[in-house]
């Protein structure tokens, strides 16, 4: 058919004839207009604007025209292709809008359907509130100290200045651990408080020391709504040069505000613990009524029983005898300690009214708290 070096081959370029181009254009526009949905339009795009579409092939032939004819043919094909592209774009827009208004509506689902395919887990509130209490102290620069739950009596009592046979020792309803000989005391107990960790910290850590110790404690109290043989305490200890009760009050105040609310006042009243002297119990202003329940006309407060104050902790200056038992010079160092019950904190902060809930393990109890109390 066409010969080499021939400048012009009318057969080869018939597709570029004006009539042919116009027909291609008309066919394409008709197919585009006829496309009923995005899939048909995709087919029309392929047929009339794709690599093998007549107009695309025609475009490729332009180069075969004599230079004089190229400009005109190029213009003609270009115009047609633009028109096709514009029609495609506009039809695409129309069909997409139609799809959006019809198809997506048809695809609507009920998004309120549940998808809880695995039951929810949770942490125990004693764990999460203990973490939270610890975090407050860690934020104040304290480190977490730990000790065993089965503890030597010397740590649990003697070193803490509980003299043998003193009523203070007997008040603690101690579980004693059986020793090798049934009739003899083993000198081992289930720790009755977290205070033996104070002794361990003073014996093992360099001074000054600022530690907080959360943990499980045991007392031989029968389980009822307010007593449990197993409970948790958290207690802090600071031993440094020149620490005073004023520092103790500052630490307590910072702790209470962080844990229970800004601006809550605290109050110390004399109490007795063998390992602190002076000793005090700590009350904080009720975080719910802030004392309003005690004023004339104030609504009664369930949380503080309209007392305005809630007892939260015991505290005091470390008894110098305790420092001596730990080999610390009481003339150079002084310290303070304060401790509170974690279950008590749960009762105050979260309205737990029956301590048995913390030990029964009903999944509803822990789940109510989620992972952060």
Partner 1 sequence: MRVPLSWLAEYAAIGAAAADVQEVARRLTACGLEIESVEPVGHDISGVLIAEVLEVAELTEFRKPVRYCQVSTGDGVDRHVICGATNFTAGARVPLALPGAVLPGGFEIGARKTYGKVSEGMICSAAELAIGDDHSGILVLAADAPLGADFVEYAGLRDHVLDVNVTPDKGFAMSVRGIARELAIAYGVPYTDPADAGITADVGEVSADSYPASIEDPSGCDRFVLREVHGVDPAAATPLPMRVRLARSGQRCVSLAVDVTNYLMLELGQPMHAFDRDRLSGPIVVRRARPGEQLETLDHVLRTLDPEDILITDSSGPISLAGTMGGLATEVSESSRDLVIEAAHFSARGTARMSRRHRLFSEASARFERGVDPDLQLRASQRAAVLLAELGGGMVLPGCTHAFAPMPQITITMEADYPDRVAGTGYGLDTVRLRLGQVGCTIAESTAGQDADGHQARHEHHRHDTSATMLTVTPPSWRTDLTDPADLAEEVIRLEGYEKVPVRAARAAAGRGLTGRQRLRRSAGRSLADAGYVEVISSPFSAAADFDRLQLAADDARRRAVTVANPLSDDEPLMRTTLLPGLLRVLSRNLGRGFADVALFELGTVFRLGPQGARTAPILPVDRGPTAAELAELAAALPDQPLRVAAVLAGDRDLAGWWGQGRQAGWQDAIEAARTVLRVSRVPFEVGADQHEPWHPGRCAAVYVTAEAGRPRLAGHAGELHPRVISAFGLPARTCAMELDMSVIETAAGSLGPVQAPAISAFPVATQDVALVVARAVPASEVETALTAGAAGVADIALESVSLFDVYTGDQVGEGRKSLAYTLRFRADDRTLTADETTAARDAAVAEAARRTGAVLRDGSNSS
Q: Which of residues 150-209 bind partner 1 (CB under 8 A)?
A: 150-155, 158-159, 161, 163-168, 170-171, 175-181, 184, 186-188, 190, 203, 208
Q: From the CB of residue 143, how many other CB atoms can be counted at a distance below 10 Å?
A: 14
Least gap, CB of 130 to partner 1 (angstroms):
10
226 lines the binding site for partner 1 (CB under 8 A): no
Q: Does the CA dihedral 213-219-225-226 come out positive or negative?
A: negative
264 lines the binding site for partner 1 (CB under 8 A): no
* Cβ within 8 Å of residue 167, ≥6 positions away: none
Binding letters toward partner 1, positions 10-39, x by CB under 8 A: ------------------------------
d(Cα 368, Cα 373) in Å, to the nearest integer?
Answer: 9
Least gap, CB of 354 to partner 1 (angstroms):
14
Q: Is residue 104 within 8 Å of 45, Cβ to Cβ?
A: no
| φ, ψ at 19 (rounded to 5°) | -65, -40
Q: Which is nearer to partner 1, 105 or 222 (CB)?
A: 222
Binding letters toward partner 1, positions 100-119, x by CB under 8 A: -------------xxxxxxx
Least gap, CB of 186 to partner 1 (angstroms):
5
User: Which of 31, 32, 126, 217 contacts partner 1 by CB under 8 A?
Assistant: 126
Q: Which is nearer to partner 1, 28 or 190 (CB)?
A: 190
Least gap, CB of 106 to partner 1 (angstroms):
21
Q: Is residue 195 within 8 Å of 162, Cβ to Cβ?
A: no
User: Which of 20, 38, 70, 272 contacts partner 1 by CB under 8 A?
Assistant: 272
Say what the alpha-carbon torsion angle 343, 348, 352, 357 is, to the nearest 10 degrees. 0
* Cβ within 8 Å of residue 37, ≥6 positions away: 95, 98, 99
Window 58-77: residues binding partner 1 (CB under 8 A) = none
Q: Which is nearer to partner 1, 21 or 122 (CB)?
A: 122
Q: Which is nearer to partner 1, 8 or 176 (CB)?
A: 176
Q: Which is nearer to partner 1, 55 or 196 (CB)?
A: 196
# residues near partner 1 by CB under 8 A: 103
Helix axes 54-61, 18-34, angle to 10 degrees: 150
Strand pairing of 185-190 and 150-152?
antiparallel
127 lines the binding site for partner 1 (CB under 8 A): yes
Angle 366-371-373 from CA coordinates, rounded to 5°: 75
Interacting span for partner 1 (CB under 8 A) from 24-32, 60-68, 270-278, 286-294: 270-278
Cis ω before 278 (30° cut-off from 0): yes
Interacting span for partner 1 (CB under 8 A) from 21-29, 45-53, 137-145, 347-355: 137-145
Q: Which is nearer to partner 1, 59 or 366 (CB)?
A: 366
Window 297-356: residues binding partner 1 (CB under 8 A) = 317, 319-321, 324-328, 331, 334
Q: From the CB of residue 329, how many other CB atoms can be counted at a distance below 10 Å?
A: 10
User: Which of 70, 205, 249, 290 contacts partner 1 by CB under 8 A?
Assistant: 249
Tokens found for residue 325? 């038992």
Q: Is residue 229 within 8 Å of 222, Cβ to Cβ?
A: yes
Residue where the block lists tokens 């006042």: 265
Least gap, CB of 103 to partner 1 (angstroms):
24
Q: Is residue 193 within 8 Å of 230, Cβ to Cβ?
A: no
Least gap, CB of 105 to partner 1 (angstroms):
22
Q: Which is nearer to partner 1, 83 or 175 (CB)?
A: 175
Q: Which is nearer to partner 1, 61 or 277 (CB)?
A: 277
User: Which of 56, 92, 253, 294 contacts partner 1 by CB under 8 A?
Assistant: 253
* Cβ within 8 Å of residue 348, ≥6 positions away: 260, 287, 303, 310, 312
d(Cα 311, Cα 338) in Å, to the nearest integer?
Answer: 13
Tokens found for residue 37? 């949905």
């Amino acid at each position: 058919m066409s010969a080499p070096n021939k400048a012009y081959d009318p057969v080869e370029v018939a597709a570029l004839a004006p009539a042919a181009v116009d027909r291609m254009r008309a066919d394409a526009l008709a197919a585009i207009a006829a496309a009923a949905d995005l899939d048909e339009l995709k087919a029309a795009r392929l047929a009339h604007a794709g690599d093998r579409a007549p107009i695309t092939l025609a475009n490729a032939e332009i180069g075969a025209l004599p230079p004089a004819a190229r400009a005109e043919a190029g213009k003609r094909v270009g115009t047609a292709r633009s028109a096709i592209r514009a029609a495609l774009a506009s039809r695409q827009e129309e069909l997409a809008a139609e799809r959006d208004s019809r198809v997506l509506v048809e695809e609507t689902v009920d998004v309120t359907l549940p998808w809880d395919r695995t039951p929810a887990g949770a942490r125990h509130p004693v764990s999460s509130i203990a973490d939270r209490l610890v975090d407050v102290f860690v934020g104040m620069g304290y480190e977490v100290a730990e000790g065993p739950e089965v503890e030597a009596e010397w740590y649990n009592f003697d070193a803490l200045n509980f003299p043998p046979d003193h009523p203070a020792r007997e008040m603690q309803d101690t579980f004693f651990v059986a020793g090798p000989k049934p009739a003899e005391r083993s000198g081992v107990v289930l720790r009755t408080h977290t205070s033996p960790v104070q002794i361990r910290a003073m014996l093992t850590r360099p001074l000054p020391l600022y530690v907080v110790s959360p943990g499980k404690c045991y007392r031989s109290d029968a389980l009822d709504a307010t007593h449990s043989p197993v409970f948790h305490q958290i207690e802090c200890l600071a031993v440094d040069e020149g620490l005073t009760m004023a520092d103790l009050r500052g630490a307590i105040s910072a702790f209470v505000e962080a844990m229970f609310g800004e601006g809550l006042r605290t109050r110390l009243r004399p109490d007795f613990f063998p390992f602190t002297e002076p000793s005090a119990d700590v009350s904080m202003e009720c975080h719910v009524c802030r004392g309003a329940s005690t004023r004339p006309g104030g609504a009664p407060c369930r949380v503080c029983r309209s007392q305005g104050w809630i007892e939260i902790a015991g505290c005091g200056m470390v008894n110098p005898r305790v420092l001596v038992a730990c080999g610390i010079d009481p003339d150079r160092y002084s310290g303070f300690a304060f401790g509170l019950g974690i279950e008590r904190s749960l009762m105050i902060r979260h309205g737990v009214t029956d301590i048995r809930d913390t030990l029964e393990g009903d999944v509803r109890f822990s789940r109510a708290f989620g992972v952060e109390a």
